[in-house]
Copies of this chain bind each other. A is one copy, B any other.
Amino acid sequence: MQISSTSSSIKLTNHHHMIRSSSDHQHQWRHNYNLKQLFVPSSCPNLSVSNSPLNQSVAAIVFGGGSDPELYPLNKTRSKGAIPIAANYRLIDAVISNCINSDITKIYAITQFNSTSLNSHLSRAYSGFGIEKDRFVEVIAAYQSLEDQGWFQGTADAIRRCLWVFEEFPVTEFLVLPGFHLYKMDYKTLIEDHRRSRADITIVGLSSATDHDSGFGFMEVDSTNLVTRFSIKPEKDQQDFISVENRTTRSEETSSCCVPSTGIYVIGREQMVKLLRECLVKAKDLASEIIPGAISEGMKVKAHMFDGYWEDVKSVGAYYRANMESIKSNRFYDRQCPLYTMPRCLPPTSMSEAVITDSIIGDGCILDRCVIRGSVVGMRTRIADEVIVEDSVIVGSDIYEMEEDVRRKGREKKINIRIGIGEKSRIRRAIVDKNARIGKNVMIINRDNVEEGNREAEGYVIRDGIIVILRNAEIPNNSIL
């Protein structure tokens, strides 16, 4: 990193100072940091700051995700966190793996919307997580109680109602995490930053230049990374935003407005309790109510910038894009930061004559004479002879369906086609959800170039120009979609 002597360089320094999670910059950062110490003694890191190991002192609260219409039909029977991704995983595995790899081992997952698959996945995948009572991934499903018979009304409401659970262990910070983002972050660095700066709340912001409309709000950050303003909707308030800026006579150089928030927060235990139980007892949402409220209350809210790969899987298009990214990723093979998921013992993938280009193939597939290009093919996928799959996501299957199963189900439910993709079919730029039954000679190519369309009765939906075959849907032989 180049440091010039002008004032702008200070900003850059600060900027880099904010980058914690990118190991490449670590050494430079230390260097700068030391330099800074000489001149800014008042903000020097306090040596007495808690050094307690994260597995003792931090609990993660992961949200399973709500009923996001942009994701339909992928979330028709499952919550966001449970959506299968990258052939072998579920979305939530990315965040849970980040926690484990950061030695944060008390993990609560709050679920409410379509939670069955997610609860099942989490219980099975992480049940063997530890014999120690303080290593766990515990699902907290929405529940009725005598005092409160309604559903969780938002993230803040959910945490408030579950505080009695979270208070079990004497942790000092809560790490709040949306469970449906794809990224790799070392939360250790984040927590250390939070502790060093003696913040009440630390929000992870995105420093990369992309126009993420994360939905988790935007923050105005000063040169010390202090969040001076937080707003859930930047566009509308933009004008006002700037004017406030002017009124406070802050120099433009030292303040960057509209840093998008990731919805990741480190919140001190006492601050969490105070905000939810004392200051903002009616607040339902963290982003729109608790964070601005904390700033109003005078709490020290800091930003921690992240600039790695980040994907908020918030729409069918984003889901498609994330899968395509996963093909190129070598994230998977990093021994230091493995991606955890449900352990399985599936058979090897069997291929009778497959030509596969730029694709990833999940465990235990059965691929006959077929061509697969630029695609993600999930677990237990069956692809018959003369099939061509291009630029698509085949989610896979929960079971190996036998011919006899098809016959039995045929009698019960008029099902005639086996799970998988039938002979001579062709799939291009589509998503085939789990357990779908694609007949023979089917063309899934979005022939009419439709951008948005709902043909649920026929087993599919078109979103962002991508055909999505519904879970369990049956597409008859010779269909052209």
On A, residues with C-beta under 8 Å from B are 1-2, 44, 47, 53, 67, 72, 75-77, 86-88, 100, 103, 111-116, 119-120, 123-133, 135-136, 138-146, 149, 151, 162, 164-165, 168, 170, 270, 327, 332-335, 338-364, 366, 376-377, 398-400, 402, 405, 408, 412
Sample (29) of A-B pairs whose CB atoms are under 8 Å apart: A1-B47, A53-B103, A76-B146, A77-B164, A114-B143, A123-B139, A127-B127, A129-B130, A131-B340, A133-B338, A142-B142, A142-B143, A144-B151, A149-B151, A170-B408, A333-B400, A334-B400, A335-B400, A343-B344, A343-B345, A348-B360, A349-B349, A349-B360, A351-B356, A351-B357, A352-B358, A354-B355, A361-B361, A363-B363
Question: Which residue of chain B is the closest to A114 with respect to CB atoms?
Answer: B145
Q: Name the B residues within 8 Å of A128 (CB-CB).
A: 127-128, 130-131
Question: Which residue of chain B is the closest to A147 with respect to CB atoms?
Answer: B76
- Cβ contact of A361, chosen from B142, B339, B351, cutoff 8 A: B351
- Cβ contact of A132, chosen from B76, B151, B338, cutoff 8 A: B338
Question: Which residue of chain B is the closest to A269 with respect to CB atoms?
Answer: B412
Q: Name the B residues within 8 Å of A86 (CB-CB).
A: 347-348
Best-surrounded residue of A124, A333, A352, A362 (most CB of chain B within 10 A): A333
Q: Is the CB of B347 within 8 A of A113?
A: no
Q: Is the CB of B119 within 8 A of A141?
A: yes
- Bound: A333/B420 CA distance, A: 14
Q: Name the B residues within 8 Å of A363 (CB-CB).
A: 346, 348, 363
Q: Name the B residues within 8 Å of A357 (CB-CB).
A: 351-354
Question: Which residue of chain B is the closest to A56 with respect to CB atoms?
Answer: B336
- Cβ contact of A165, chosen from B116, B335, B354, cutoff 8 A: B116
- Bound: A113/B146 CA distance, A: 8
Q: Name the B residues within 8 Å of A113 (CB-CB).
A: 143-145
Q: Is the CB of B333 within 8 A of A361?
A: no
Question: Which residue of chain B is the closest to A354 with respect to CB atoms?
Answer: B356
Q: Is the CB of B123 within 8 A of A138?
A: yes
Asked, given contacts A129-B131, A341-B345, A408-B170, whether A144 binds B351 with beta carbons under 8 Å apart, the answer is: no
Q: Is the CB of A399 within 8 A of B341?
A: no
- Cβ contact of A347, chosen from B72, B138, B144, B339, cutoff 8 A: B339
- Bound: A332/B358 CA distance, A: 27
Asked, given contacts A77-B145, A131-B128, A143-B112, whether A87 binds B348 with beta carbons under 8 Å apart, the answer is: yes
- Bound: A398/B129 CA distance, A: 20
- Bound: A338/B332 CA distance, A: 27
Q: Name the B residues within 8 Å of A353 (CB-CB).
A: 356-358
- Cβ contact of A332, chosen from B77, B136, B327, B350, cutoff 8 A: B350
Q: Which A-B residue pairs are the 4 nearest by beta carbons?
A: A141-B141, A332-B347, A127-B127, A343-B343
- Bound: A332/B352 CA distance, A: 15
Report the minimal beta-carbon distance from A463 to chain B, rounded to whole angstroms.
15
Q: Name the B residues within 8 Å of A345 (CB-CB).
A: 88, 125, 131, 338-344
- Bound: A48/B103 CA distance, A: 22
Asked, given contacts A47-B1, A116-B165, whether A350 binds B343 with beta carbons under 8 Å apart, the answer is: no
